[in-house]
């Protein structure tokens, strides 16, 4: 669940910022475009890392 939320929040906000950057002029959309690209990339990296860690260190049935 944490991996999904850690993916969705930055991804959605990054897509919104990229939409703002695309619809504005070059000089006005430069900063939102850079921030949106960073957030989308961050979403894919952090979400994937949390999935890998959860699969590796998650609860196993023997510990219960």
pLDDT of residue 60: 64
Which residues, 6 or more positions from 44, have their beta carbon under 8 angstroms from its beta carbon?
7, 11
Averaged pLDDT score across all residues of the chain = 87
**SS3 label, residue 24:** coil
| Whole-structure pTM value | 0.79
The answer, yes or no, to whether residue 49 has pLDDT greater than 80, is yes
The predicted model gives 45-50 an average pLDDT of 91
Q: 29: which residues sit within 8 A by CB, 6+ positions away? A: 20, 21, 22, 23
Length of the chain: 64
State whether residue 32 is helix, strand or coil: helix
Q: Using one digit for the tens of pLDDT, what is the confidence trace for 26-40?
A: 788 899 999 999 999
């Amino acid at each position: 669940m944490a991996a999904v939320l850690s993916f969705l929040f930055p991804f959605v906000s990054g897509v919104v910022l990229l939409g703002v950057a695309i619809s504005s002029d070059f000089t006005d959309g430069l900063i939102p475009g850079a921030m949106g690209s960073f957030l989308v990339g961050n979403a894919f990296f952090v979400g994937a890392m949390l999935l890998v860690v959860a699969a590796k260190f998650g609860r196993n049935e023997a510990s219960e």
